[in-house]
Amino acid sequence: MQIIVADDHDDLSRIAAGHIATAIRDTPTGVVIPATGNTPMGTYRELAALRAAGSLDTSGLRVFQLDEYVGLPEGDDRSLWGWTLHSFVEPLDIPLAQTHRLPGNAPDLDAACHAFDAAIAAAGGVDLAILGIGANGHLGYNEPPADATAPTRPIQLTPASVASGAVYWGSEDRVPRSALTAGMPHLLGARAIVLLVSGAHKRDILDRSLNGPVTPDIPASYLQDSANLTVICDRAAVGG
């Protein structure tokens, strides 16, 4: 595990983009799982700037969606697929044919999750997982309790995740209560994992995830067993 402490969120974004750009140059057709949420947005803007400047070719990447709410109508402003498209896929000029959605509207959600797992396996597994951490230690929407073997599946959001979702959508009423999430093995088994953590409100959960017991009650604690992990956080998240 490598831990890089940035000065602030902007610095985190620049450092993370540089780190991720190196990984992409090494594996330009790699399989990437990019988180949504607030933390990685600056990083994605920095990556898009590198691409626009001609110093990074992202067009060969293959993208698998990290998580999606269940039951939203197509085009709903809360769609995490829409967020993934606007923040990552489109600015990085990745062809849609190289992307794989988690279909939160599938008639058979379990079957859709199995198909997603099979598609990642067929793609050769995940090269790069770009993750944030929830206040409750979730990775993607692997809500606690989730152990290291939890597959891609439908889940119910915990009250903590409903509360943090309200930050995105204006109120808790607008936060869907269930979601699909890519399974833990895809994230923990990625050949490179970049965990982005920003802000004093993440300090406690980051400390418990990296330094506390490894437990299903804090899914991110399983990252302690990963040799491929780079944590990029800002000083506020480590109490400096």
> Catalytic residue positions?
67, 136, 138, 143
42 touches ligand F6R by CB under 6 A? no
- Closest distance to ligand F6R from the beta carbon of 120 (Å): 16
Comparison of 55 and 183: residue with beta carbon closer to ligand F6R: 183
85 touches ligand F6R by CB under 6 A? no
Q: How many residues bind ligand F6R (CB under 6 A)?
A: 16
237 touches ligand F6R by CB under 6 A? no
Query: What whole-number distance in Å separates Cα of residue 220 and Cα of residue 136?
Result: 9
Q: Which of 42, 103, 134, 144 binds ligand F6R (CB under 6 A)?
A: 134
Parallel, antiparallel, or unpaired for β 67-69 and 178-181? antiparallel
39 touches ligand F6R by CB under 6 A? yes
Query: What whole-number distance in Å separates Cα of residue 21 and Cα of residue 33?
Result: 14
67 touches ligand F6R by CB under 6 A? yes
183 touches ligand F6R by CB under 6 A? no
36 touches ligand F6R by CB under 6 A? yes
- Closest distance to ligand F6R from the beta carbon of 185 (Å): 16
Comparison of 61 and 205: residue with beta carbon closer to ligand F6R: 205
140 touches ligand F6R by CB under 6 A? yes
Q: Which of residues 5-24 bind ligand F6R (CB under 6 A)?
A: none
231 touches ligand F6R by CB under 6 A? no
Q: Confirm if 195 and 226 have CB atoms less than 8 A apart.
A: no
66 touches ligand F6R by CB under 6 A? yes
- List interacting residues with ligand F6R (CB under 6 A): 35-39, 66-67, 80, 132-134, 138-141, 164
